[in-house]
Amino acid sequence: MHIAVLGAGVVGITTAWYLQKQGHQVTVVDRQNQSGLETSYANGGQVSVSHAEPWANPSAPLKVAKWLFQPDAPLLFRPRLDLYQWRWALSFLAQCTSAKAAHNIRQMVNLGTYSRSCLQSLRDELKLDYDQLAKGILHFYTNPAEFDAALEPSRIMRDLGCDRQVIDAGRAVELEPALEPIRHRIAGATYTADDESGDARKFTQALAEKCKEAGVAFEYGTEVLGFDRAGDRILGVLALKDGKHHTLRADSYVLSLGSFSAVLARQLGMFLNIYPAKGYSITVPVKNEEAAFNVSLTDDEYKLVYSRLGDRMRVAGTAELNGYRRDLNFTRCRAIVRRAAEVMPEAGYWDQAEFWTGLRPATPSNVPYIGKSHFSNLYLNTGHGTLGWTHSCGSAAALADIVAGKSPEVDFTFSGL
């Protein structure tokens, strides 16, 4: 069967890989001239099963209200005359119960554990190199209330098989000496030894090369505009390349266009509750090897993640719900630099920070859409939010099984099943 995968980010490329492994002819379509150039370009770099606590939790409404007029807030809601933004926001509030948060944690831990295993197998099989480090992820807390709030989600994760251990400040600094400058401020920490980190763009582009070698075709520089349809079937993809309109034909299609998946789905009368959560990152050269971290870190109070990528450090996070604008907000960029320099003042050349922003496709629950759509030959693999890198391999492997009529090997609520 010929399958067109729409999107060449980390989710689209992993989807293409697993589909071709099932024996399908695969074509990947993307508006960029290379894979991994949008949301996968400079994300946080963590493969983090332990980052499974959803944004929507009982403490979120009060925090969001407090942050509403704070321009450098970790989660910033900028109200717009946008029906889809408000619909998303109301759905988000509906998810902020203990029961729903626990359910969503289960979904994300199950998918994350499976996906991490798929990534490790794929890395070993293909000998991929993407500045990966398998040294775990350490969440540290400088706010005692934030640490106390993390204890119950951590317990739920351990019950689900994610070994997120609660530790004290001394053990945190023992695991990652780069935290020594703020030892006296650390109220507590958690550590998940099985989690990893790595450069998602390098991984995506390396896997895209493997896809090409395996016979996957690529239609780069091709913008998806809409669909040709008849009844419950997609007949083709309406596209624009080199200023010319044309139609791409395949037997089946996979929608993996991140935040833009929702816009295209609306043309088909489908509502995907995905809204762009604009995230930021800085990439900084290492200045002092002894002061720089090697264990991947999560600063939960500031919603920042830190990943070591060879001789570079990546610090990423925050979310701004402000439509599809991708211009840099330097207030938010400087806030990341300020906090990172405060935590590890001698680690990097903070004044040389390279800024980046991308639109993460967030659902109110943080649980992605994976599986069948209302159309007989259209599949979904989108809406992964901040965990696209973490969930990419597992999502792709599961979707390939669904396309093949098999039951996925992971306990997850798939779309259309």
**Residue 134 belongs to a domain:** yes
What is the mean pLDDT of each successive set of 10 residues along the chain, which is 417 residues long?
A: 98 98 98 97 96 90 80 82 94 95 96 98 97 97 94 94 96 97 96 97 98 98 97 97 96 98 96 96 96 95 94 93 91 93 96 96 97 97 97 98 97 87
Q: Using an 8 Å Cβ cutoff, are 382 and 9 in contact?
A: no
**CATH number of the domain residue 231 falls in:** 3.50.50.60
Asked if the structure places residue 102 within a domain, the reply is: yes
Same domain flag for 192 and 243: no
pLDDT computed for residue 288 by the predictor = 96
Say if 24 falls within a structural domain: yes
pLDDT at 75: 80
pLDDT at 72: 77
d(CA 137, CA 149): 18
* Residue ranges making up the domain that contains 305: 50-196+275-362
Q: Are 234 and 378 in contact (CB under 8 A)?
A: yes
The confidence score (pLDDT) of residue 77 equals: 84
Is 408 part of any domain?
A: no
- What is the predicted pLDDT for the residue at 417? 59
Task: Decide: 6 and 254 in contact? Cβ < 8 Å.
Answer: yes
Residues 76 and 134 occupy one common structural domain: yes
pLDDT tens digits for range 77-128: 888 889 999 999 999 999 999 999 999 999 999 999 999 999 999 999 999 9
Q: What is the reported pLDDT for 96?
A: 95
